[in-house]
Structure 1
């Protein structure tokens, strides 16, 4: 497979992973695998969650595809690369920015990232298996863009004591 086709397949896989993530989150994690995903919806004192096992699944799948497709750089390599790129972005956006699991990237000026954060917070308003909304990671409903832009234009007023 030539480089252009490989990069195109990686990009297509990356984009397809958003649908896979949405589908798996809505119908599998909030379905039969809720016993693992539940740890992500409740407060706990632990640094790790049962939900973190899903990283091992997707990371392992990506690694296997890249290892077995690597010598010939066939479709498996490029699909594995797309899964890896999506997983890396997922980690930084979901775990670092939204859930603050690492102590950097606390604030953003990006209306898109603020909208994404709002949508995810709406998803976590429900701590049970049923009733959640907004299951994707990168696609954000337009209503959250409106809210994010409105908040950027009208930042919350700071009290006089906080300004000093």
Structure 2
């Protein structure tokens, strides 16, 4: 395969991961997996790690396996599927754990309308402390109304 195909595979998997994340978040984390996700919805959780971090391992495992099998006898398409999952996981960590939940103080005062919209949508998700009545289950693609609100708040300042 040509490098262009590998790049398209990686980008395609990255985009598909948003849908997989949305479905997993809505139907597994807020369903059968609520035991692991519940502490994530509790304000002021006092520990560095949450039970919710279990899902990091769940999503990282296929990526690691695809890296291993995709590089066994030279690099093949499986490696680039794993790379797409890895890049999405990295974006998820930076957006969700760093920007939104401030587990690290790296993006304290952003004025970027896109990043502000992501924070607002996730705050709306967390206003529900239980597993029912949730909204905004995605991470990178959120309803357009939050982008409009973020743009207005930046223009106001």
Taking structure 2 as the reference length, the TM-score comes to 0.95
Partner of residue 31, structure 1 = 31
Q: Which has the larger radius of gyration?
A: 1
Q: Offset at 1:21?
A: 0.3
Alignment partners' CA distance in 2, 1:69 and 1:103: 35
4+ runs of 1 displaced by more than 4 Å? none
Distance in 1 separating the partners of 2:28 and 2:109: 31
How many positions carry a matched residue from both structures?
155
Q: How much does 1:72 deviate? A: 2.9
Q: What is the aligned partner in structure 1 of residue 51 from structure 2?
A: 50
In 2: Cα distance, 1:83 partner to 1:11 partner: 9
The residue number in structure 1 matching 2:66 is 65
Residue 14 (structure 1) shift: 0.2
Q: Which of residues 115, 118, 121 in structure 2 aligns to 1:119?
A: 121
Partner of 1:74: 76
Q: CA deviation at 1:103?
A: 2.0
Cα displacement (A) at 1:2? 2.3
**Where does residue 86 of structure 1 map in the other structure?**
88
CA distance in 1 between counterparts of 2:65 and 2:76 reads 13
Task: Measure the CA separation in 2 of the matches of 1:69 and 1:135.
Answer: 31
Q: Which runs of 5+ in 2 are unaligned?
A: none
Structure-1 separation of matches of 2:111 and 2:20: 28
Instruction: Tell me how far 1:136 sits from its aligned partner.
Output: 0.1
Give the 3-state SS of the residue equivalent to 1:48 in structure 2: coil
Task: Write the deviation string for residues 7-63 of structure 1: whole angstroms up to 9, x where unpaired.
Answer: 110000000000000000001110100010111101321111000011112112101
Give the aligned partner of residue 142 of structure 1. 144
Q: Which structure's residues are more often helix, by fraction?
A: 2
Stretches of structure 1 that go unaligned for 5 or more consecutive residues are: 156-164
Distance in 1 of aligned mates of 2:133 and 2:121: 14
Q: Supply the distance in 2 between the matched residues of 1:107 and 1:89 (Cα, whole angstroms).
A: 19
**How far apart, in 1, do the equivalents of 2:150 and 2:69 lie?**
43
How far apart are the structure 1 equivalents of 2:135 and 2:62? 27
TM-score (norm 1): 0.91
